[in-house]
Amino acid sequence: MTDFAANLNRIRARIRQCEEDYGRPPGSVALLPVCKGQPVGKIERAWRLGIRDFGENYLQEALDKMILPQDCRWHFIGPLQSNKTRGIAENFQWVQSVEREKIARRLNDQRPAGLPPLNVCVQVNLSGEVSKSGVELAAAEDLCREIAALPRLRLRGLMSIPAQRVDEPAQRQAFRTLAGEFNRLRKTFPAMDTLSMGMSGDFEAAIAEGATLIRLGTALFGKRTP
C-alpha cells in the first residue's frame, strides 16, 4: 500500500470515529484532500483510489494538475486576486475563499454560461488569526446576502482557517464560534450546507464542533515541497 492509501485509510477511520464520538451522523463529514505543493503523481494516485475532490491554493499550479479526467471537482481555497478570477471561474467548481463583494462579482460575471453556477463559501477571519484573509465575523452576513443575489454563484457556506493551536479546548472555541454563525445564517440562507473548517492539525476539534468538510493536505499527502 502506498503512503497515500495508508494515510487515507487511517484518516477515514479517524473521521468515522470522531463522527461517532461527537454524535455526528455517519458520513456527515466530507474530506477535501488539499494538493498544493504536491507532485502530480501523488494526485493521480489519489484519483485512482477514488478521490474526486481536490483543494488548491494557486491557479497556475492547479491548472498544471488538471490533466486528470474531467470528473474531478476542484476547490479554490487560496487568496483571491482580481487578475486570477477569470481562470478560477472557468476552471474550478468551488471557491471557498471569497472575502470581498468585488471578487464575488467578478467570479459571477466571468463564470462561463455553459457551466453550472460556481459553488462559493465565504471565508471568515476569526479573531486571533495570523493570516489577514477573510471577512470579519460581523460582516459575513452582508457578504452572504450579496453573493446570494448573484445568479452565477451558489452560496454554499462558510470557511475559516483559525490560528493553529495545540490545545484542543482553544481549537474548539474558534470552531464553535464559526459554527454558531453558520447555524444562524442558515436560517436566512437555507441553501447553505457547507461548514468548511479543520486542517491536518485540528480536524478532530473541527468535527466535534460541526464541520461538514475538512481540508487535509500534509496528513494525507505528506510534507509539501515549497
Task: Indicate whether 200 belongs to the interface with ligand PLP (CB under 6 A).
Answer: yes
From the list 19-27, 81-89, 146-154, 194-202, the region that binds ligand PLP by CB under 6 A is: 194-202
Q: Return the residue nearest ligand PLP (CB atom).
A: 217
DSSP string covering 56-123: ES-HHHHHHHTTS-TT-EEEE-S---GGGHHHHHHH-SEEEEE--HHHHHHHHHHS-TTSPPEEEEEE
| One residue of 34, 135, 174, 205 binding ligand PLP per CB under 6 A | 34
Q: Which residues pair with 194 in a beta bridge?
A: 157
Report the distance separating Cα 33 and Cα 19, nearest Å. Answer: 18
Task: Indicate whether 218 belongs to the interface with ligand PLP (CB under 6 A).
Answer: yes
From the list 1-9, 10-18, 140-148, 197-205, the region that binds ligand PLP by CB under 6 A is: 197-205
Task: Indicate whether 163 belongs to the interface with ligand PLP (CB under 6 A).
Answer: no
Minimum CB–partner distance for residue 171 and ligand PLP (Å): 13
Report the distance separating Cα 226 and Cα 131, nearest Å. Answer: 18
Minimum CB–partner distance for residue 187 and ligand PLP (Å): 27
| One residue of 134, 157, 162, 217 binding ligand PLP per CB under 6 A | 217
Report the distance separating Cα 113 and Cα 173, nearest Å. Answer: 41
Minimum CB–partner distance for residue 150 and ligand PLP (Å): 22
Report the distance separating Cα 157 and Cα 120, nearest Å. Answer: 7
Task: Indicate whether 57 belongs to the interface with ligand PLP (CB under 6 A).
Answer: yes
46/161 with CB nearer ligand PLP: 161
Strand, coil or helix: 205: helix
Q: Which residues pair with 5 in a beta bridge?
A: none
| One residue of 14, 36, 84, 86 binding ligand PLP per CB under 6 A | 36
Q: Which residues pair with 196 in a beta bridge?
A: 159, 213
155/214 with CB nearer ligand PLP: 214
